[in-house]
Homo-oligomer: A and B are copies of this chain.
Amino acid sequence: MSVITIVGAGMMGSAMSIPARDNGHTVRIVGTPLDREIIDHARRYRQHLTMKRPLPENITYFQIEDLDLALDAADVVIGGVSSFGVDWFIETVIPRIPEGMPLLSVTKGLIDREDGTLISFPAYYKQKSNRQLSFCAIGGPCTSYELADRRHSAVAFCGDDPAVLLRLRQMLETDYYHISLSTDVTGVECAVAMKNAYALGVTLAVGMVEKEEGVGCTLAYNPQAALFGQSVREMSALLQYIGGGAENIVYGAGDLYVTVFGGRTRKLGTLLGRGMTFSEAMAELSGVTLESVAITRRLIRAVNRAVALGKLEAGQFPLLMHIGDLLEEKPTKGIPFAAFETTVFERR
């Protein structure tokens, strides 16, 4: 049995305690400065405050001041911050991870650079922290609620070191938590980050139909499917651009599927689809932090830079560009369905 320390007591980080405890590991959860109440609540009620799910027995909870204690003699650290916490994590947590201890991050997102390229969080961690830890990450379609409910979930662990990945899989795999492995960190991580933008894209069609027929109407699926197909097309082109393997579209498509069905990203896409401006929609979603919007903005910024530098053609990404216009509150003529048409005239 191993000792697993989860740093960041958000929903996804905390949900990782469930396969970890089911496999009999010692689990420690450390809250960030934003998680104080979650930690207090979990200690007292053995329940996650925001996820509203029971947490396994025999977890030790720590506030951030006791980080070193929680990391002592651990076998692996699971990074449980959201993408908003990444810089804090690099400054505060990574320097204190003991040499040789792998980090497995649940954080989804990517970083755009001045030259129009995109890098994954593991690559960013390595670069910024200047440490030689084994930086691994989890991608794939897995919501925290359903992992906590022990629903069958298929994810990918990615990292540079096959031996570390095999060990992490052995540690965390259960009969409901299914783990693929990949050393293509860029491919896996960028595929699953992109789905944030495209989940906004697909759900525009929900709002569009509601606008015509009234909220509560029978939804139409042809328009959603047109957007889903176009999302797969644009995500595949972006995967190729960033140098990720084509097979990672499996994670992009699966994660897009699960994201379309619920949560805040669907809500925002639906409101934009009804014709609200971005500010109106954000007012309606008051107080809700939208990680998906931040990730979408980064992706669009990177694509715009790559277009300016002649590395990509804007015309390849009509849906992403449309989402960008909506976020910038530029006037649009609606979802550019006609721009999705392709012509493939080649003899095979």
Contact = CB atoms under 8 A, between A and B. Distances in A.
Interface string A45-85: 00000000000000000000000000000000000000000
Contacts of A226: 141, 152-154, 178, 254
Given A337-B178, A345-B181, A348-B243, A142 B254 contact: no
A340 B154 contact: yes
A229 B140 contact: yes
B220 A149 contact: yes
Contacts of A247: 233, 236, 342, 344
Interface string A231-269: 011001000000111110111011101100110000000
A342 B338 CA distance: 37
Which of A244, A251, A341 has the largest count of B CB atoms less than 10 A from its CB?
A341
Nearest to A339: B178
A146 to B, nearest CB: 4
Interface stretch (A19-27, A35-43, A182-190, A290-298): A182-190
This chain's copy number in the assembly: 2
* Size bin of chain A's contact surface: 35 or more
Interface string A217-232: 0001111111011101
A154 B337 contact: yes
Contacts of A141: 221-222, 225-226, 228-229
Given A181-B343, A184-B346, A343-B181, A147 B338 contact: no
Interface string A163-193: 0000000000001101111111011000000
A335 interface: yes
B255 A180 contact: no
Contacts of A249: 232, 236, 249
Contact of A222 (B152, B208, B335): B152
A282 to B, nearest CB: 25
B152 A335 contact: yes
Nearest to A185: B348
Contact of A342 (B180, B187, B347): B180
21 contacts: A141-B226, A146-B222, A152-B226, A153-B226, A154-B222, A154-B226, A154-B341, A162-B345, A181-B342, A182-B343, A183-B348, A221-B257, A224-B258, A225-B254, A228-B253, A230-B250, A232-B254, A233-B247, A236-B250, A244-B348, A245-B348
Interface of A: 140-143, 146-147, 149, 151-154, 162, 175-176, 178-184, 186-187, 205, 208-209, 220-226, 228-230, 232-233, 236, 243-247, 249-251, 253-255, 257-258, 261-262, 335, 337-338, 340-348
